[in-house]
Amino acid sequence: MNNAEVKIRKETKNKIKVDFERTPLWERIKSKVLNMYTLKKVVWYLFRFLLLLGISYIILFPFFSKISSSFMSKEDLVDVTVRLIPKHPTLSTYQAIIRDNNYFVALGNTFLLSFVCAVIQTFICTFIAYGFAKFKFKGNKILFLCVIFTMVVPHATLSLSIATKFKFFDFFGIIQAISGNSINMLNTNWPLYILSLTGLAYKNGLFIFMLRQFFRGIPDELEESAYLDGSGIFKTFFRIILPLSGTMLITVFMFAFCWQWTDNFYTDMFYSISGPTLLPDIVKVPKSLDTNYAGSALYTAAIKNACGMLIITPLIILYLFGQRYIIQGIERSGLTAD
């Protein structure tokens, strides 16, 4: 096309309208969309999307089945035409569990236990991790190896000795020497509080590891400038470092809270029937429900599912609010292997 032939139709300060021969729309779309590159992209996109959808289904299906079965009445469970959606939805299972199994008492006790443990664990682990990440002192590396060691040895390996430790609680015989007897801490919250206070509770090694990686990502200059401005080490920690690490703190708190909430290993170990009612204790068939009939296996399973729903409902609410912090928190921790 020759420049001379271009006919200017309209010209304003920053726009110019020119007549020229355009390729037809269809041709343009064809060359843009109908090629191998786009095709490959679309296929790959669909493949990914379907795959993710499928895996999400695998993850979510147990929850669907839990929810639906917890609303089923006895008739639904013997009715072979009922699969996922109950024909006679009922709330009686929930009512019986809440009434007979002391649900709210268990909820309160577990909430207290989990909340206190999670708060303690969050702060203690932050403290410990900050010490490991930012201060050079003799034995830093060896102590960190000890943390890894506590992470590697499963607590189940030690269950007998942990239980005896807290049943006959003592520091090298000091308490026995003073009061004449060791302290029995079973059936109280103290064993878990003490484990949390010393960074030894469930997966605390992982928390310390994650937080240490996060703190190492914070540039040292930040603290140095704070020190230069006359702020002490602890003031710097509380005023500058902690506000920066809000996401990580929420992440660790949620892990600690949820894992303590659904825990049955420690609660089995530290609490007996005479102890406070906790959430694991409500997983049983309520007295008022009759399971003495042919389909009882399915009915028992449905009741247990209802118990499970009652247990995780608070966690689901918490997760809905906190999930974006968890994902951000883990992404920002910048975990590396060094």
Partner 1 sequence: MNLDIDAGNKRTKKQKIVIDAPAKRRKRGASLDVKKARAGWLFVLPFVLGFVLIYVPIIFDSIRFSFNEMRLVIGGGYQLNFVGFKNYSDALFVDASFVTTLLAGIRQLVLDIPSIVIFSLFVAIILNQKIAGRAAFRAIFFIPVILTTGLIASIDSSNILSSYMDSSTGIDNGTGQASTAAEIVSALDIRDLFSGMAVGTEIVEYVVGLVNNIFNIVNRCGVQMLIFLSGLQSISPAIYESCSIDGASGWETFWKITLPMVSPMILVNTIYTIIDSFTSSNNSVMSYISNVTERSGGDVLASAMYWMYFLIVILIIAIVAGILSAVVFYQRKD
Using rule CB under 8 A, residue 335 touches partner 1: yes
| Closest CB to partner 1 among residues 65, 92 | 65
| Min dist. Cβ of residue 64 to partner 1 (A) | 8
Using rule CB under 8 A, residue 216 touches partner 1: no
Name the one range near partner 1 by CB under 8 A: 19-27, 87-95, 97-105, 137-145.
Answer: 137-145
Task: List binders of partner 1 among 314-333 (CB under 8 A).
Answer: 315-316, 319, 323-324, 326-327, 330-333
| Measured distance CA(144)–CA(6) in Å, rounded | 75
> Of 31, 297, 317, 321, which lies in the binding site for partner 1, with binding defined by CB under 8 A?
297
> Of 107, 195, 249, 285, which lies in the binding site for partner 1, with binding defined by CB under 8 A?
195
| Min dist. Cβ of residue 274 to partner 1 (A) | 17
Task: List binders of partner 1 among 241-280 (CB under 8 A).
Answer: 254-255, 258-259, 262-265, 279-280
Name the one range near partner 1 by CB under 8 A: 11-19, 21-29, 99-107, 305-313.
Answer: 305-313
Using rule CB under 8 A, residue 160 touches partner 1: yes
Using rule CB under 8 A, residue 154 touches partner 1: yes
| Closest CB to partner 1 among residues 15, 234 | 234
> Of 100, 116, 165, 296, which lies in the binding site for partner 1, with binding defined by CB under 8 A?
165
Task: List binders of partner 1 among 23-62 (CB under 8 A).
Answer: 45, 48-49, 51-52, 54-56, 58-62
| Min dist. Cβ of residue 29 to partner 1 (A) | 22
Residue with tokens 């089995």: 268
Task: List binders of partner 1 among 106-135 (CB under 8 A).
Answer: 124, 127-128, 130-132, 134-135
Cβ-based neighbour number of residue 122 at 10 Å: 23
Tokens of 114: 């989990």
> Of 80, 145, 177, 294, which lies in the binding site for partner 1, with binding defined by CB under 8 A?
80
| Closest CB to partner 1 among residues 28, 164 | 164
Q: What's the chain look like in SS3?
A: CCHHHCEEEEECCCCEEEECCCCCHHHHHHHHHCCHHHHHHHHHHHHHHHHHHHHHHHHHHHHHHHHHHHCCCHHHHHCCCCCCCCCCCCCHHHHHHHHHCCHHHHHHHHHHHHHHHHHHHHHHHHHHHHHHHHCCCCCHHHHHHHHHHHHHCCCCCCHHHHHHHHHCECCCCHHHHHHCCCECCCCCCHHHHHHHHCCCCCCHHHHHHHHHHHHHHCCHHHHHHHHHCCCCHHHHHHHHHHHHCHHHHHHHHHHHHHHHHCCCHHHHHHCCCCCCCCHHHHCCCCCCCCCCCCCHHHHHHHHHHHHHHHHHHHHHHHHHHHHHHHHHHHHHCCCCCC
| Min dist. Cβ of residue 331 to partner 1 (A) | 5
